[in-house]
Structure 1
Amino acid sequence: MGGKPVSSLSLAAQALAEQMPHALWRANQTLSYQAATVSSGYLLMDEILPGQGWPGSVLIELLLQQAGIGEMQLLRPALQTIAAKRRIVLVQPPHLPQIAAWADWGLPAERLLWIKAKSTADALWSAEQVLRNGGNGCCGALLFWQTQVRPESLRRLHLAAQDTDMLFWMMRSLACAQDASPSPLRLGLRPVTNGIRVDILKQRGARREDPLFLSLQKQTSVPLDSSIPSSYHALLDRPASSATRTRNLPATLV
């Protein structure tokens, strides 16, 4: 009877912790991470990532100086690991996916789903549905390109990611670095000669202050048809099939 009363807020927090133990981080956990991770394929990158790899069940933000600076090559090893068993979903990529290039990277076409939405609202809805319904073993990763996103939409996506074991990367502009975000891992990406510069903008535990410079292996093709000169593209481009009508038909394979 002499003990301190337990507030309803404390009980609610305890219940939430029991429901989502993988999503709870305590200050004394420093860099530990309870969710499953996938190696980035780069030793130096794994050393700075929580859990020594890309964490699942969370929103990971890649903030780009501009699209096409090597972000796909950075993700390539992880995508290859995932595509061996599960599908990869692309929502609103800035350029048309190239099947020939994906195949050249060892990523089977039947493992790729591309969703092209007509509006930002449709794109956000599509990404959330993939997270809520695709994590039952069929989808292993979601790549979502979007710049104009409200904080409440980011929170919805982050919460949806916590209920799945998928890897979820969101590509945004580097200018968004000053915006608040629920993402526990935010990386700034800038191009450098023969590679990419990675700045740790936010992560659980002690943050690395110095940038990381990664040398990216040169490829003869890229998985997205960007502004890179045609000599770097695959020799064969396959026209995309009709885009998916979101909230209606399933994603179109391209």
Structure 2
Amino acid sequence: MTDPIHCPMLDQLFDRGQVWQRHQYSSPPAIDTGFATLNQHLPGAGWPAAGVTEILYPQHGIGELSLLLPSLAKLSQRELWIIWVGPPWRLNAPALAAAGVDVRRILVVSPAQNTGILWALEEGLKSGAASAVLGWPQQASSTQVRRLQICAAQHEVPCFVFRHQRPGGQNQQTPSALRLQLKPLSTDRVEIRILKQRRGWPAAPFPFTLQRCPAFRYPAGSTPSTGDAGRAGGLGGSGNK
């Protein structure tokens, strides 16, 4: 069999979600988000089960993690790890447990450098020991996201990449399976815009009401009061109360 011909212009169209290959017409495997309204807007009615979901947000604590809690609760029932790579705050294990997440299945990795975060994300996807991998890289090029997308697809693991939004960053071409942009509307509501999805076009933004946990994160500089919170790494920082 001959190798496929690589065309830079065609690669850009694939990354934008403007061209699909024949095998992509079948419904992609998806993970129920736990929110009927959100499922209705997503391809496959859920998060990509074998791909990268990028979540762009202007500031920490607007509810970006609340979107994942129902899915993480279900994934934590498996005998696998939910790997958190480079979270910018300490995890609050009691709050996660209150949301139904089994904190015994959480593994936190805290690389010092951005390259270490990207490396750990890729290794987590390849490990065969993860039900999901979450990461907070400071930067990620299109090539680096493509590597994560390929790993997630090959090993059939969902990967969630949280990215602090920079001006104009929503227009960046991306090879991820799904790319969302969040905008805070109030303390418990955000606007969700689907910037890119496989087998579909960017959609109009829609409001979404969050289900938040009390004490979702530790205030900056505070100390966890339980051993579990310390071992799990906590859901710390500020916001999301």
Q: Does 1:26 align with 2:17?
A: no
User: How far 1:49 sits from its partner (Å)?
Assistant: 0.9
Distance 1:164 1:116, change over 3 A: same
Whole-angstrom CA distance in 2 between matches of 1:179 and 1:100:
37
2:107 & 2:160 partners in 1: Cα distance?
Answer: 15
Q: TM-score, normalised by structure 2?
A: 0.79
Do 1:98 and 1:237's aligned partners in 2 also have CA atoms closer than 8 Å?
Answer: no
In the TM superposition, residue 139 of structure 1 has moved relative to its aligned partner by 1.4
Q: Does 1:221 align with 2:211?
A: no
Look up the match of 1:170.
161
Q: Deviations over 1:36-73 (max 9, x none)?
A: 21111111111111111111111110011112110111
CA 1:93–1:11: 2 relative to 1, 3 Å: closer
Q: Residues 78-227 of structure 1: matches in 2 within 5 Å?
A: 78-85=71-78, 86-133=80-127, 136=128, 138-175=129-166, 176-193=169-186, 194-222=188-216, 224-225=217-218
C-alpha contact (below 8 Å) 1:27/1:205 kept by paired residues: no
Tell me the TM-score normalized by structure 1: 0.75
Alpha-carbon distance, 1:240 to partner: 3.3
SS in 2 for 1:197: strand
Distance (Å, rounded) in 2 between the aligned partners of 1:112 and 1:57: 19
Q: CA RMSD in A?
A: 2.9
Q: Which runs of 5+ in 1 are unaligned?
A: 1-6, 13-23, 244-254
Kept after mapping to 2: 8 A contact 1:104/1:221: no
How many residue pairs match? The answer is: 215
Instruction: Please tell me the residue identity of whatever aligns with 1:54.
Output: W
The equivalent residue for 1:249 is: none
Rounded Cα–Cα distance in structure 2 between residues aligned with 1:164 and 1:71: 25
1:58-69 correspondence to structure 2 within 5 Å: 58-69=51-62
1:206 CA displacement: 3.4
Please identify the structure whose Cα radius of gyration is greater: 1
Unaligned ranges ≥5, structure 2: 7-18, 234-241
The change in CA–CA distance for 1:10 and 1:106 in structure 2 (over 3 A counts) is closer
Shift of 1:103: 1.7
Give the aligned residue type for 2:164: S
Q: CA contact under 8 A between 1:91 and 1:114: conserved in structure 2?
A: yes
Q: Note if contact 1:147-1:171 (Cα within 8 Å) is conserved in structure 2.
A: no
* 64 and 164 in structure 1: CA distance in 2 versus 1, 3 angstrom threshold: same
Equivalent-residue separation in structure 2 for 1:72 and 1:219 (angstroms): 10
Q: Is the 8 A contact 1:48 1:208 kept in 2?
A: no
CA displacement at 1:94 relative to structure 2: 0.9
Partner of 1:70: 63
Deviation per residue, 1:189-243 (Å, 9 max, x gap) = 1111222211010112332532121111242121x4356xx9xxxx945563599
